[in-house]
Amino acid sequence: MAAYDLIVLGGGPAGYVCAIRAAQLGLATAVVEKEKLGGVCVNIGCIPTKALLHSARVANLVQHELTGLGVTVEGVSTDYGQAMKRSRKVSEQNSKGVEFLMKKHKVTVIRGTGTLVPGKKVKVGTEVHEARKAVVIATGSRVKGLPQIGLEINKTTVISSDEALFLEQTPGTMAIVGAGAVGCEFADIFNAFGCAVTLVEAMPRILPFEDAESSEAVAKSFAKRKIQVLAGAKVLKATVGPTGVTLEIEAGGKSQMIEVEKVLMAAGRAVNTEQMGFKECGVELTPQGFVKVAPGTLETTAKGIYCIGDVAGPPMLAHKGSREGVVVAELIAGQHPHPIRYDNVPSVTYCHPEVASIGLTEDQCKEQKLGYQVGKFPFSANGRARATNETEGFVKIIRDTKYGEILGAHIVGGHASEMIHELAVARENEYTVEEVDLAIHAHPTLSEAVAEACLDSMGRVMHT
């Protein structure tokens, strides 16, 4: 029986980051992983989709956006299979990178499926490993279909992202059910590779948790590229055949039939809590099925067992899980980590144009009856955006009327994912719109739009 200070169940972005931080703090640490290191994120999530989105972006650029640039390209064709193979390589490189990091930080990787055993022990295969200080659950989540409306994932005509990421070629027609980040990203990808995409969303708009103006901007861009969007839509009936699926969908008061080669289920995830000895060790679940944790410490209902990442509850985002991993490692090592502000986790969708946000939407400010001012700056008025043909989108800042606190920030546009962090830093440190503007922004950059939106919220915008 091997003994460690800390055993982490799961080597995804929450688990492996926790292990590295624990090792940095001098704890003898092991990670249990049954598949490839890096988890869903590195292997079948964040990373390969970003590789495919890059292919999609280049395809759109070459096919539709070269006019007047002085560059002519002839004989353009796209090949999803090729793009897929490259995305696999990128994933593999990243997973190998995590493996290297484990070695570098002297974290032991135990291959296999781990099961909790009472007394802070983890069983892998026939071997039992003991944790002297703590066990951290980071078992993550997986895709889940919607069998209740007849759309159970069959991996051929009804698929999830798990299958979409390995397709050799793009289907001619596809319906994507669910228009959150995953749905919108795949709509962008398959559209760019020549597939006729219908995006189906039950809520009244796509990206329903983003600011309404962000949803509107993306919907407009999708419409231009002929991605059909059905929002406020209900799948009444699904008939799954061997080569295609017929969907009866009600949207806007009328029902219609859609025939597609494939349906991609981009709604709903299930957390991995089954058959891992949770119940036997006193690890309780919430009514929603997540592991119940104490706020602040992330300790479960079983003493010495902690939980981080998707399985510990929303938001189910890699960077939220990673931060929880750091905090838990530091707590276990006896430190006093900076508490996580769950209201300050940035959210990004990498379709084109990108959508990035942090804090409250304008609708949430209204619901909470907060006194607020909106500042907005369109990229069409930004020099750098004009120079690089990226004039879609805007920066929107919502600030508190009285003190200028940044209540929410929403960016739609090229590189929005990179620009949001200025506002994450500002909010984490309680800078107001004034401090953001006071920092000199280089010219010409897209980030100038952030400063301008802050100025606009104070009624002092300069360049519109």
Partner 1 sequence: MATKVLMEALSPTMDEGRLVEWKKAEGDPVAAGDVLAEVETDKAVMELVARGSGVLLKQSIPAGTTVPVTSTIGWIGEPGEVIPTDGAAPPAKAPARPLAPAASAPPAAATAASIAPPSAGRIKASPLARRMARDQGLDLAVVPGSGPEGRIVKRDVEATRTPGAAIPSYAFAGTGYRDEPLSQIRKTIARRLAQSLGPIPTFYLTTEVDMERAAEARDALKAEFGEAGQVSFNDLVIKAVATALRQHPACNAWWQDDHIRYWNEIHIGMAVAIPDGLITPVLRHADQKPLRVLGAESRDLAQRGRDRRLTPEEYTGSTFSVSNLGMLDIDEFTAIINPPEAGIIAVGRIAETPVVHQGQVAIRRRMRLTMSCDHRVIDGATGAEFLRTVKRMLENPLALVL
> Which of 398, 446 has the CB closer to partner 1?
398
CA dihedral 379, 380, 385, 388 (to 10 degrees): 140
Catalytic residue among 54, 129, 443, 463: 443
CB atoms within 10 A of CB 117: 16
> Which of 210, 405 has the CB closer to partner 1?
405
Q: Which of 435, 439, 444, 458 binds partner 1 (CB under 8 A)?
A: 435
Paired sense of beta strands 254-260 and 108-111, if any:
unpaired
434 contributes a contact to partner 1 by CB under 8 A: yes
HEC per residue, 128-167: EEEEEEEEEECCCEEECCEHHHCECCCCCCEECHHHHCCC
Site string for partner 1, 287-306 (x = CB under 8 A): ---------xx---------
- Applying CB under 8 A, the span of 31-39, 122-130, 165-173, 401-409 interacting with partner 1 comes to 401-409
| Smallest gap from residue 435 Cβ to partner 1 (A) | 5
- Applying CB under 8 A, the span of 50-58, 92-100, 169-177, 426-434 interacting with partner 1 comes to 426-434
Range list of β-strands (E), 187-327:
196-200, 228-230, 234-240, 245-251, 254-260, 262-265, 269-271, 305-307
- Applying CB under 8 A, the span of 64-72, 125-133, 143-151, 400-408 interacting with partner 1 comes to 400-408
Q: Taking CA 13 as the corner, what is the angle to CA 9 and CA 15, rounded to the nearest 5 degrees?
A: 25
**Looking only at residues 209 through 228 of this chain, which bind partner 1 when binding is defined by CB under 8 A?**
none
> Which of 46, 358 has the CB closer to partner 1?
358
152 contributes a contact to partner 1 by CB under 8 A: no
390 contributes a contact to partner 1 by CB under 8 A: no
- Applying CB under 8 A, the span of 147-155, 267-275, 361-369, 429-437 interacting with partner 1 comes to 429-437
Q: Which of 288, 429, 443, 459 binds partner 1 (CB under 8 A)?
A: 429
d(CA 176, CA 201): 9
3-state class (DSSP) for residue 369: coil
Structure tokens at 435: 């401090």
94 contributes a contact to partner 1 by CB under 8 A: no
Q: What kind and span of H or E run contains 123?
A: strand 121-124
Beta bridge partners of 159: 264
Q: Which of 58, 403, 460, 464 binds partner 1 (CB under 8 A)?
A: 403
> Which of 271, 436 has the CB closer to partner 1?
436
Q: For residue 277, what are the contacts with CB-CB under 8 A and spacing of at least 6?
A: 115, 116, 117, 123
**How many residues lie near partner 1 (CB under 8 A)?**
14
CB atoms within 10 A of CB 86: 15
3-state class (DSSP) for residue 33: strand
Q: Taking CA 373 as the corner, what is the angle to CA 369 and CA 379, rounded to the nearest 5 degrees?
A: 130
Query: Is 443 an active-site residue?
Result: yes
| 43, 357, 406, 408, 454 from 365: Cα distances, Å | 37, 14, 12, 9, 17
Q: Which of 410, 431, 437, 452 binds partner 1 (CB under 8 A)?
A: 431
**Looking only at residues 329 through 388 of this chain, which bind partner 1 when binding is defined by CB under 8 A?**
336, 338
| Smallest gap from residue 306 Cβ to partner 1 (A) | 14
- Applying CB under 8 A, the span of 60-68, 205-213, 407-415, 423-431 interacting with partner 1 comes to 423-431
The residues that touch partner 1, with contacts defined as CB under 8 A, are 296-297, 336, 338, 402-405, 429-432, 434-435
Active-site residues, by number, are: 443
